[in-house]
Amino acid sequence: MEAAMAMIVPEFWAEARVHEAFDKGHASGRRSLTVRRFGWSDASLHEAQAMADTRAREAFDRILAGESLLKREPRVPYDAEGLPIREQIVERDGDLVVTRNSYGARCLNTPEVLFADVDFDEPTSAWRRSYFWTSLALAIGVGIITRWGLGVLTMIAMLWLFAWIASLQSRRRHRADGGPEGRATARIQAFVAAHPDWHLRLYRTPKGLRLLVMHRVFDPNEAAVIEFFDAIGADSYYALLCRRQHCFRARVSPKPWRIGIQTYLRPRPGVWPIAAERLPERERWVADYERKAEGYASCRFVEALGSSDYVTATRSVQRAHDDWCRATTTLPLA
């Protein structure tokens, strides 16, 4: 296992390659081995390359000694265990870093101020899949026994019936518990009731809710964070990323497709850094995106819950977050 990594969003990246060929009968049983590793730095490309060279040699020696390690690390912007966030830095204020993600939106990254997004669940999708397979099985049975034309009609009729049942169940459940938003809100309210010393700020997002915890700072790997994520129903993938990247993260500008931009951030894929000759293409896309994003908010502040305690670090991040997201405006959410 490599050493634990504090949150870092480096300015410079490099990659090193170590390759060796071996004589037949080498103790490792290999005829050759090639290992690649990234290096990074906030100071210089030279320093990033030196780090890459060191990491590649260390990984090469460990693999040759029999350890099971990747020969090549994935070149992804976010979600690579053991690697920092690989995104363009838009703004930096101490430990707070705003980056541009792979589809062009700006994201706030903080090592200690706890954010969590809760997407509204849609439980009927799994039911609909089972309805389809049930209808198909009945249609095949009818087709075998009678005629295939009657089987097709049976399937159409069964799908219509199941769709009506699903819609009826959904409406009944919505009346009973307020639907996806009601269920998400109930989980949050239950958490606040059980933890009155916590101070939460609640925001509405286009597809759910966002929570910002104000009363203290957190380590992404501490038990209280994991319990909080579980209690409120935060996305399990987001929770995993927080542990891997040693930070909390919140999108603070609109998703491009929600503001009428149908083209992807260029060039593809949007992994930073990119070749200098491709920068003008990227900058044109970003300029168009930023111009259109001015008319939208990423989330909207709803209310404060729990205690009124806060610390300087959380207050500072909250003000920046609300400003970047336009959270106190009436602009449409995107």
Does residue 180 have a cis bond before it (omega within 30 degrees)?
no
The pLDDT mean for the chain works out to 89
Model-level pTM? 0.79
- The answer to whether 152 and 141 are in contact (CB under 8 A) is no
User: Looking at the domain assignment, is residue 97 inside a domain?
Assistant: yes
96 plus 142 within the same structural domain:
no
> What confidence tier does 4 reach under pLDDT thresholds 50, 70, 90?
very low
Tell me: pLDDT of 122 over 80.
no
97 plus 211 within the same structural domain:
yes
314 plus 219 within the same structural domain:
yes
Residue 154 structural domain: 124-177
> What confidence tier does 91 reach under pLDDT thresholds 50, 70, 90?
very high
User: Looking at the domain assignment, is residue 2 inside a domain?
Assistant: no
- The answer to whether 258 and 293 are in contact (CB under 8 A) is no
User: Looking at the domain assignment, is residue 170 inside a domain?
Assistant: yes
Distance, first Cα to last Cα, the chain? 40
